[in-house]
Amino acid sequence: MYEIFEKLLKEKGVRAADVAKATGIAPQTLSAWKKGESKPKNDKLQKIADYFGVSLEYLTTGETSSGYYYDEDAMEIAQEIYQNKDLHMLFDMTRNASADELRDFAKMIELMQKRERHED
């Protein structure tokens, strides 16, 4: 587990002390895990997983059964697009759009929403 923790630290550009402060886990506890002097309990592991935006499974094994989603938000968005045929259609239509085209689409949708709410 600690190897994955160190990998996440490096990827996110944070220090163990930052994680300790944000999660309320004592730095000494993290140090004991690193040295193999103690094993982390699930509640503390979950705090770390939440901090990094990964699943508990990923933090403990380096793998995830949810496929290739790195965080819960991505998985939820993908599921919503999959289940909603209108969102799916919109996603398909804009999949190969440039950044400028996406901004133009977003402005057009905002304008349409304002008109529907009579916010001209």
Profile the chain (120 residues) by mean pLDDT over runs of 10 residues.
89 91 94 91 90 85 66 78 88 89 94 86
Residue 62: per-residue pLDDT = 82
Q: Which residue has tokens 């160190």?
A: 6
pTM of the model: 0.54
Tell me the C-alpha distance between 42 and 89, whole Å. 40
Residue 67: per-residue pLDDT = 56
Residue 66: per-residue pLDDT = 55
Tell me the C-alpha distance between 83 and 88, whole Å. 8
Residue 23: exposed, middle, or buried by beta-carbon count in 10 A (0-12, 13-18, 19+)?
middle
